[in-house]
Amino acid sequence: MNNVVLCIVTLVVLTQAIASEELGFVSLFDGKTLQGWVHVGAEKNGYLIKKEMLISPAEENGNLFTKKEYSNFILRFEFCMEEGANNGVGIRAPLRKDVHLTGIEIQILDDQAARYRGALKPAQYHGSVYGAVPARPGFLRKPGEWNEQEITANGRRIKVVLNGTTILDADLNSVQDPQILEAHPGLQRSRGHIGFLGHGSKVAFRNIRIKELP
């Protein structure tokens, strides 16, 4: 039984119930359909729904975006990965496959897996603004266990809290390296879609909810 299956058979907490207990938060995923979402990328093997989980399968799966655009917000969700899994959360993103460049990608990665040892740059670890701002490593739970993550985008400040610990709190204006700015024009975006960015590995998501900020 692989790690993502282990995630799926654990206790399911209904998305709607979670969101209703958090003032101002609304659910982005009803647990049954992809209403409010649009798929960009691979035509086959897109994101799946199983037992109120949104599943990124191991096949090439493209990106899944909210139809609605957001500017300033707090995004909360839970995720569970197989060993070595790679995904990402696109924020303020265009409806494209290359969100790591044209939008802002918050890395989702089992960065302690053997395949990545010695191979990652600082801004490729889990929770980083991909390619631009590194996050603090070491706060992920083991593959097969659920993690809770919160991403706040408020103006130029991006904050990531993983399992109760702030692993990134950055002002995007602090990114001054000309090479990074040229390679990542999406860092300048102030509005766009939220998406899950598939990289051909199994990741499960649940309890996806958002609170828009002024």
- Residue 82 CA, chain-centre distance (Å), reads 15
156-173 pLDDT per residue, tens: 999 999 999 999 999 999
For the chain, give the percent of residues with pLDDT over 70.
Answer: 88
Bridge-based pairing state of the strands 73-81 and 203-212: antiparallel
For the segment 40-51, the average pLDDT, to the nearest whole number, is: 80
pLDDT of residue 35: 95
Domains of the chain: 3-212 (2.60.120.560)
Which of 27-36, 45-54, 145-154 shows the lowest per-residue confidence on average (mean pLDDT)? 45-54
Cβ neighbours of residue 5 closer than 8 Å, sequence gap 6 or more: none
100-140 pLDDT per residue, tens: 999 999 999 999 999 999 999 999 999 999 999 999 999 99
Which of 13-17, 174-178, 184-188 shows the lowest per-residue confidence on average (mean pLDDT)? 13-17
**Given a cut of 80, is residue 56 above it in pLDDT?**
yes
For the segment 163-190, the average pLDDT, to the nearest whole number, is: 98
**Given a cut of 60, is residue 88 above it in pLDDT?**
yes
Bridge-based pairing state of the strands 53-56 and 203-212: antiparallel
